[in-house]
Amino acid sequence: MKLAIDVHHHSAGGATAAAVAFEAWDAFEPLRSFSTRIAHVEPAPRGGQLNLRDLPCMLQLLREHALAPELIVINGAVHLDAQETPGLGQHLFHALGGQIAIVGVCKTALPGLPAQFELIREEETRPLIISCAGIDLGAAKARVRGMHGKRRVPTLMKLVARLAKGTAAA
């Protein structure tokens, strides 16, 4: 089983972590969905510091639902630059003991990441930025390219974002 995970932060200081499970990369709907409400989340850091406040939310979701996927796709970066400065995904990879591959999908370009991390899906002109840990970059890009959806962001990634925001039925 693979998971797509996203976290939405509420204005009251809490968050909702959501995940959708899938087997086939081209699946247009999940096998199952999960969500966890977190009452308190640290405020976002200021001044260009790495934002890791999603990490405990993701770990709580995995623990609460006893999830042990072979791979996790996150809305965020695994590496922040070509020198592999750790991003959220790399911290998640280490927190999981390096046993679960992590694929990061970013909608905005990261300064310092060369074109090799870019992925253009279908007829879209703006690329997604793909980074990963525990899986080869070429394989990660091929998997994300093969995900269902004719637009830039794969269907399951859109769905998990809506679930985290509470705008989709679980």
Segment 65-85, tens digit of pLDDT: 999 999 999 999 999 888 888
Q: Residue 168's pLDDT is what?
A: 56
The CATH class of 2-44+51-165 is alpha beta
Distance, CA of 8 to CA of 57 (rounded, Å): 10
Query: What distance in Å separates the CA atoms of residue 54 and residue 31, rounded to the nearest whole number?
Result: 24
Contacts of 68 (CB under 8 A, 6+ apart): 62, 100
Closest-CA residue to 4 (of 96, 98, 67): 67
Give the C-alpha separation, 113 to 166, whole Å.
32
- For residue range 21-58, list pLDDT tens digits in order: 999 999 999 999 999 999 888 877 777 677 788 999 99
Per-domain residue ranges of the chain? 2-44+51-165
Residue 169 in this model has a pLDDT that exceeds 80: no
Of 66, 55, 67, 45, the closest CA to residue 17 belongs to 55
The secondary structure element, H or E, covering residue 88 is helix 88-95
Kindly report, residue by residue over 99-109, the tens digit of the pLDDT: 999 999 999 88
Contact by Cβ (8 Å): 10, 28: no
pTM over 0.85: yes
